Amino acid sequence: MSRHPLCIPHEHSFSRRQFLGGVGASAAAAAAMGTFGGLVQPAVAEDLKKREKQVIFIWLDGGMSQLESWDPKPHTEFGGPFRAIPTSVPDIKVCELLRHTAKQMHHIAVVRSACTQDNSHSAGVARIQRGDPKNRGVDYPFFGGAVAKLLGPCPGGLPPYMWVKPGSGGFIHQDGGFLGAKYGSLALGDGKPPESLLLPPSITATEDTLRNDFRSKLNARYAAKHRKANSEANSYVYDVARELSRRSDLFDETKVSDRDRDRYGRHDLGRHMLLGRRLLESGVRFVKVNSYGWDSHGDNFNASQSLIGKFDQSFAALLEDLSERGMLDHTLVIALSEFGRTPRINSHVGRDHWPEAWSIAMAGCGIKRGIAVGATSERGDVVATEPYDIGHFFHTWFRALGIDPGLEEYDNHGQPLPIAHDGMGPIKDVLA
Amino acid sequence: MTIRTIWVGCAAVFLAASTQLQAASLHEEIDRLIAAKAGMTPLAPACDDATFLRRAYFDFAGRVPRLEETQKFLADAAPDKRTKLIDELLAGPEYPRRMEELFHVVFMERRGDNPEWSKFLRASFEANKPWDQLTREIIHPVADDANKRGAAFFHTRRLEKSGQETTDYPGLTRDIGRLFMGVDLQCAQCHDHLFISDYKQIDFQGLLTVFANTSIKGGDFPAIAEKPAATKLEFASVFKDVKQTTGPRIPFGTEFDVPPATGSAVALVAAALPAPDNRLFVQNAVNRLWFVMMGRGIIHPLDLQHADNPPSHPELLALLSREFVAQKFDIKWLLRELALSATYARSTEVASGEPPPVELFAIGIERRLSAEQLLRSMLIATGDPAETKDETKLVAALTALRPKALKAFANPPKEPEDAYNTTVQEALTLLNDEAFQKLFEVKAASLTERLAKIEDPNQLAEELYLTILVRRPTEEERAEVGKFLTQFVAEAAGKQKVDAVRYLAWALVASTEFSINH
């Protein structure tokens, strides 16, 4: 079959159901070796510290106003009522709504010259989370699916890509794009586990072990006589399912200290961010934490006070914890939305969608600490330095994770596809 | 060679060759062609009787055989018992239901269920409706026949809007191409396909012209309305801004005259597409039926027929096409011939080392079991035979578990179920879901109740394996069962042999072996 980078040979042949099913060699191997057995927490935590890169991707669905967060412009035409406050980094000021985060600024790199394109919600979510590769007629994976594919699952048997979100959960195969469903996400609706997570009370742990041991023997005998792929897939999904069951404490909020709950905040975003940290600690490769409702077309300043206040509290607690636990060295933290918000304040005291000039924050693995890169104009309406589209950010993040977009490419059933926009490159100023 | 150049000659080829095979039956010819292509690659031996029985039941009854059916077949010494089995199953009452379940998934790809659509499919397979007629009735559904009108569900479900999106006419158009001609023209919606030189934008747009004029007609049963096509459709490639126009046409065909205001373009498609001289239509039909029985298309993927994706066995594909036309698209006839071939009966076991390339069909290919096949089999294998033979009771049990079974075993909507796919949710459901654990409950005449009464572990193992996995246990497995019974009672506090039996049955149902048509 001839190759052409612009179109896809048979996208349908990637079944999107196969969440974690088709068993990339590494996943199967990790599961088959069972290296970490039941001792997930301590063994994995140590191992992760040494070598495993992880990501927590905080997605504020809609747009967070850059003027009320990372790029304040007090006392200017569009500046709004809030003050700019100093941070733990001399020369960097942020909006006073980020008062907790300001104390963690020495961990953070903020890029104030994001200039993306789509200003509609329907396009924004996918465009940003896919890194807006050139349109090749295929659905690119979301960032989590890409990382799950490129780095595989961490040891310990948990799925590589988990998504903590308000509302319903399930297996979100779409996030895998053309890579297929196994690179989709396991979504925990309101932090709750997938259906049928827990062993029913009628079955004791001993009984469960005995019945599964018998199943495994039977499977091994079948596998020895047949083509490998199906048997491996079947064993792998059972291993992941049982590991999730074993780690059901992750979904038990009573296991969390009151102090942590207060630090992160008892609101949805706080609870979900805290679960995000615990998932990272348990060895999930990529965690997406989702917050909805960032769309202050009206009453922007009260809305921002509430929304950004929650983000600030939980984000600062997360950075503090990751830093304290030595996890920032191998964990890439990203906080972003679909776009920024218009500098011009509309007649409803709101700010509308503004992809032209906004800010994206990141921290941790491979990222410089305590810097602000790029700048917007005095009024904050345009980027005054080199503008960076989302493709530049994807290049940057891949590099921070040790993945070279110049060398790595996807193989879409024979069709080579770049992992990041091939007309763009990394933002070198933020790379450590 | 392109589709178009082949096109010219294909009618002649069909006419010239459309005589019955003289010397050998079709299934013998199939085996000859498969062996010829395999060359030096050794062909796997036929699978054993138990495996063949299981395979045939899954394929033609949509379930595992019951214990007594298995015992009877294994005890039968007649040399032609496999042929007799196939004929019995094809003539049996379960065949139409199995075909309904199968083609519901093929055509609707888990978009949802509809009783009228089910009725249409069931009636079609009860009557062994020829493939061309079936296709015609789906493409151009008629509203005035209670057994046929449900076919419109194919359209209406796809024409339903989701959220604020516009009606997905391109999706419907694409599916007609994919499912009935084996060509996925998706990329040709916006431009000539970039590396499948056969697929032109006009092939997509010509079909879109037709179906973009259809809409859902409200009412008590699925039905579509069609606006008369008065003008041609104008389109341009996204790459070069050159305007083209097309009237209604089927892919790779010639343009129909735009029908007068009263005429139906859908009717023109329904007449021209499912026709013996439409090579892609015929090949798609035999390729899909081959896939159902053999686990891989001769052209694979099934909807990428084009010059650069040649069939693995061109002669075989031509032969099957010719004979299928000669037999007037008789689905049951073709399935029977496939089932009688040595290729179908081949063992899926890998002798040693690397298995041969899958497209040689030198060893059997493991096939996916649908949610319907799995759920029905679980109920039959674990239940009280008297209950599961009562169709009303069985259907009630199936209906109760169906939503969970679909979540666990089926693909998400719009995904073809054309490969083995297992998921974490499937594992979680079998491991932990209470309703599925209940299948193993010890109650009147259930499998576990019957097994628990068997004193001899050897005998218990025999009945357990025969009922669930449709084979006798090996010596090693018999010993394992005995050991498990002892170990379980020793280790599981306060539990009895009956509990051990429940977990044994569970382990067999949750095994890879059970989940695959091997």
Domain contains B228: yes
Q: How far apart are CA B506 and CA A286, in angstroms?
A: 34
Domain contains B168: yes
Domain contains A1: no
pLDDT, one tens digit per residue, over A370-412 is 999 999 999 999 999 999 999 999 999 999 999 999 898 998 7
Q: What are the DSSP calls for B89-122, one per residue?
A: HHHSTHHHHHHHHHHHHHHHTTS---HHHHHHHH
Domain contains B71: no
Contacts of B508 (CB under 8 A, 6+ apart): A218, B464, B465, B468, B469, B514
Give A100's pLDDT tier (boundaries 50, 70, 90).
Answer: very high
Query: Which of B234, B253, B272 is the endpoint of a domain?
Result: B272
| Residue A168 lies in domain | 11-430
Total domains, chain A: 1
pLDDT, one tens digit per residue, over A40-89 is 334 445 545 546 899 999 999 999 999 999 999 999 999 999 999 999 99
The span from the first CA to the last CA of chain A, in angstroms, equals: 42
Q: Is B184 on the interface with A (CB under 8 A)?
A: yes
Domain contains A285: yes
What pLDDT does residue B262 have?
77
Q: Please name which of A160, A156, A134, A136 lies closest in space to residue A147, comparing C-alpha atoms.
A: A160
Domain contains B14: no
Binary contact (B308, A2; C-beta < 8 A): yes
> Count of A–B CB contacts within 8 Å?
188
**Which residues of chain A neighbour B429 with C-beta distances below 8 Å?**
195-196
Contacts of A260 (CB under 8 A, 6+ apart): A274, A317
pLDDT, one tens digit per residue, over A268-309 is 999 999 999 999 999 999 999 999 999 999 999 999 999 999
Q: Is A67 on the interface with B (CB under 8 A)?
A: no
Ranges of H-type helices in B352-390: 371-382, 385-389
Q: Which two tokens stand for residue B133?
A: 């007629």
Domain contains B338: no
Please indicate, yes or no, whether residues B250 and B388 belong to a single structural domain of this protein. Answer: no
Domain contains A2: no
Interface pTM, i.e. ipTM? 0.93
Q: How far apart are CA A366 and CA A397, in angstroms?
A: 8
| Residue B394 lies in domain | 368-517
Average pLDDT over residues A108-135: 86
Binary contact (B427, A171; C-beta < 8 A): no
Query: Which of B228, B244, B272 is the endpoint of a domain?
Result: B272
What pLDDT does residue B234 have?
87
Please indicate, yes or no, whether residues B376 and B265 belong to a single structural domain of this protein. Answer: no
Domain contains A359: yes
**Which residues of chain B neighbour A198 with C-beta distances below 8 Å?**
432
Give B308's pLDDT tier (boundaries 50, 70, 90).
Answer: confident
Average pLDDT over residues B205-223: 94
Please indicate, yes or no, whether residues B264 and B119 belong to a single structural domain of this protein. Answer: yes
- Cα separation values, B420 from A15, A21, A23, A231, B417, Å: 10, 9, 12, 10, 8
What pLDDT does residue A28 have?
37
Percent of chain A with pLDDT strictly greater than 70: 87
Q: Is the per-residue pLDDT at A26 higher than 70?
A: no
Q: How far apart are CA B169 and CA B177, in angstroms?
A: 13
C-alpha Rg value of chain A to the nearest Å: 22
pLDDT, one tens digit per residue, over B74-116 is 999 999 999 999 999 999 999 999 999 999 999 999 999 999 9
Q: Is B518 on the interface with A (CB under 8 A)?
A: yes
Total domains, chain B: 2
**Which residues of chain B neighbour A210 with C-beta distances below 8 Å?**
484, 487-488, 491-492, 503
Report yes or no: A214 and B492 within 8 Å, Cβ to Cβ. Answer: no
pLDDT, one tens digit per residue, over B46-85 is 999 999 999 999 999 999 999 999 999 999 999 999 999 9
Report yes or no: B452 and B503 within 8 Å, Cβ to Cβ. Answer: no
Q: Is the per-residue pLDDT at A2 higher than 80?
A: no
Query: Which of A10, A13, A17 is the mutation pick for testing B, counting most B CBs within 10 A?
Result: A17
Domain contains A111: yes
Binary contact (A230, B493; C-beta < 8 A): no
Average pLDDT over residues A116-126: 75
Domain contains B281: no
Q: Please name which of A143, A156, A241 lies closest in space to residue A193, comparing C-alpha atoms.
A: A241
Q: Which residue has the higher pLDDT, A366 or B260?
A: A366
Interface of B with A in 362-391 (CB under 8 A): 366
Q: Is B415 on the interface with A (CB under 8 A)?
A: yes
Q: Please name which of A298, A270, A13 lies closest in space to residue B415, comparing C-alpha atoms.
A: A13
What pLDDT does residue A122 have?
58
Distance from CA of B185 to the nearest CA of A (A): 10
Q: How far apart are CA B342 and CA B31, in angstroms?
A: 6
| Chain B residue with Cα closest to A186 | B424
Q: Which of A176-180, B205-209, B410-414 has the highest mean pLDDT?
A: B205-209
What pLDDT does residue A218 have?
97
Cα–chain center distance at A391:
16
> What CATH number corresponds to the domain at position A298?
3.40.720.10
Q: Which of A171, A208, A230 sits opposite B425 (nearest CB)?
A: A171
